[in-house]
């Protein structure tokens, strides 16, 4: 059977899919769709300037979706307008994050147990998109500090005439057990453009296997409402993603953890450690240019994954955890390339 090509995107990952990571991914093997790491709606609404680094992006990444998490509908309304002003192609609500720091405050996957609040958040987000599209000057009515307004004015990608801003939701199958048969119809009742379903429960975290049979059930429900669905979980390559889309009836899929240390996952390509070293340099240069005020620490985790499977991986790991600059990375070229 011939496997057709589906829409395969980069899944949002907290602390991973920042602007430097995504731009590196674009240059090496561009996905069909990209998401920011999730950003606190309450933080944006309360003028937390430090969060706006998470909303940096390049036009090269389009289509690029801004993802929000939180539990306050009013904050979602404000944050949605801010993301629209920044020129994102769509707004995604995170209703699937299993991290305790998120769920203990009633956000992420915890919203499955609070459908009334989830519905209010969805409506506030949709209203934010609609209000902005009807009149972009609604941004000027937000009660943002002048410092934030000035920052956003510099970073905005400009108004795009007649641009449709999409709305989507990313979620999981349930808390302890799957509630796909009730949760997905509830989400579909709000008519999002698409839903992404990770095939695990909160209880599973990232352990065990993603249940794609539950994703297939959700696909039938979504398609009955003319809503697109993307599957997520355990995908190791674009080829595997296409096969799963066809097998389980989804419109596309998002690949997450498999991209870490392996941006070629979207090209189905095996590469040498010379190519991996070049990717490390690209990633480091983007990071230091985009975030000149940040230390090198976030890159080390990525670099450790790039050298996974290297004959001298143990010795390289000891050196990588001490890296503080691109010059030090350059000094490792011979050790990595051989």
Cα–Cα–Cα angle for 249, 60, 48, rounded to 5 degrees: 95
**Contacts for 21 with CB less than 8 Å, ≥ 6 apart:** 283, 302
Of the residues 84, 97, 188, 222, only one is catalytic, namely 97
Q: Is 161 exposed, middle or buried (0-12, 13-18, 19+ CB in 10 A)?
A: exposed
Is 257 marked as binding a ligand? yes
Is 300 marked as binding a ligand? no
CA distance 148 to 48: 8
Q: Is 222 exposed, middle or buried (0-12, 13-18, 19+ CB in 10 A)?
A: buried
CA distance 121 to 109: 13
In the chain, where does DSSP find H-type helix? 19-29, 41-45, 73-85, 100-103, 115-134, 146-155, 180-188, 212-224, 238-248, 273-290, 297-306, 313-320, 326-330, 333-337
- Annotation marks residue 97 as catalytic: yes
Q: Is 284 exposed, middle or buried (0-12, 13-18, 19+ CB in 10 A)?
A: buried
Cα–Cα–Cα angle for 40, 193, 37, rounded to 5 degrees: 30
106: left (phi over 0), alpha (psi -120 to 50) or beta: left
Is 256 marked as binding a ligand? yes
Q: Which residues are catalytic?
A: 97
Residues making up the annotated binding site are 67, 141, 198, 256-257
Residues making up the annotated binding site for FMN are 67, 141, 198, 256-257
């Amino acid at each position: 059977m011939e496997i057709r090509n589906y829409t395969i995107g980069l899944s949002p990952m907290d602390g991973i899919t920042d602007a430097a990571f995504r731009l590196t991914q674009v240059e090496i093997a561009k996905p069909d769709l990209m998401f920011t790491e999730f950003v606190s709606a309450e933080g944006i609404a309360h003028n937390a300037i430090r969060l706006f680094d998470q909303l940096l992006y390049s036009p090269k990444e389009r289509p690029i979706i801004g993802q929000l998490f939180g539990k306050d509908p009013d904050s979602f309304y404000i944050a949605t307008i801010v993301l629209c002003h920044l020129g994102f192609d769509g707004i995604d609500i995170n209703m699937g994050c299993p991290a305790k720091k998120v769920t203990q405050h009633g956000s992420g996957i915890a919203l499955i147990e609070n459908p009334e609040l989830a519905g209010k958040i969805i409506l506030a987000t949709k209203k934010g998109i609609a209000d902005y599209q009807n009149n972009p000057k609604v941004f000027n009515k937000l009660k943002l500090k002048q410092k934030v307004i000035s920052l956003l004015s510099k970073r905005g990608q400009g108004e795009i005439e007649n641009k449709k801003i999409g709305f989507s939701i990313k979620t999981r199958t349930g808390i302890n057990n799957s509630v796909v048969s009730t949760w997905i119809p509830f989400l579909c009742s709000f008519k999002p453009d698409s839903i992404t379903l990770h095939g695990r429960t909160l209880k599973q975290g990232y352990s065990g296997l993603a249940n794609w049979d539950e994703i297939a059930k959700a696909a039938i429900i979504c398609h009955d409402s003319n809503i697109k669905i993307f599957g997520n979980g355990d995908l190791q390559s674009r080829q595997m993603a296409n096969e799963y889309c066809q097998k389980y009836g989804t419109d596309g899929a998002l690949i997450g953890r498999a991209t870490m240390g392996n941006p070629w996952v979207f090209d189905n390509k095996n590469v040498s450690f010379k190519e991996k070293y070049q990717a490390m340099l690209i990633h480091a240069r983007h990071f230091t240019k985009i975030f000149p005020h940040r230390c090198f620490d976030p890159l080390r985790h990525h670099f450790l994954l790039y050298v996974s499977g290297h004959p001298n991986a143990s010795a390289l790991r000891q050196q990588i955890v001490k890296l503080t600059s691109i010059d030090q990375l350059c000094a490792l070229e011979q050790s990595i390339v051989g």
